[in-house]
């Protein structure tokens, strides 16, 4: 199992979290624990860059939903970038592709 690494950077549209490794039990809580420290202003966009994500289980999906809830509470938007095919399939099956803004990469997700 690859350990989870999360790096944060700022873009013109708001914070970008790069998720690298496995967003799965027991490491998915690392994302949920980091979220309260992310400062979002109304109108900004929180981008979760999943290009380096190797695997996502139901715990990871829950963490993605927690990120969406944080953004909504702040009056901000959330976008997923470079979603791996397996995870995209799960998002589609459970209908979460309808509530997340999906982009091919973080550059596209951070365009104003």
Compute mean pLDDT per 10 residues along the chain, 112 residues long, and list them: 89 98 94 95 98 96 97 97 97 96 98 92
Q: What digits encode the pLDDT tens for the residues 44-62?
A: 999 999 999 999 999 999 9
Arithmetic mean of pLDDT over the chain: 96
Q: Please state, as a whole number, how many other Cβ atoms lie within 10 Å of the Cβ of residue 16.
A: 20
Radius of gyration, alpha carbons of the chain? 13
Determine the Cα–Cα distance for residues 104 and 79; give it in Å rounded to an integer: 11
**Domains of the chain, first to last:** 5-109 (3.30.750.24)
In whole angstroms, how far apart are CA 89 and each of 46, 71, 96, 107, 112? 22, 23, 10, 22, 27
pTM: 0.95
**pLDDT score recorded for residue 2:** 73
**pLDDT score recorded for residue 1:** 55
């Amino acid at each position: 199992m690859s350990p989870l690494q999360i790096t944060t950077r700022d873009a013109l549209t708001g914070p970008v979290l790069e998720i690298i490794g496995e967003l799965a039990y027991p490491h998915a809580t690392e994302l949920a624990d980091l979220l309260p420290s992310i400062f979002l202003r109304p109108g900004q966009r929180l981008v979760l860059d999943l290009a380096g994500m190797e695997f996502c289980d139901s715990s990871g999906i829950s963490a993605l939903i927690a990120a969406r809830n944080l953004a909504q509470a702040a009056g901000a938007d959330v976008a997923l970038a470079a979603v791996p095919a397996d995870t995209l399939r799960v998002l589609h099956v459970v209908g979460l592709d309808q509530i997340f803004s999906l982009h091919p990469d973080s550059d596209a997700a951070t365009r104003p």
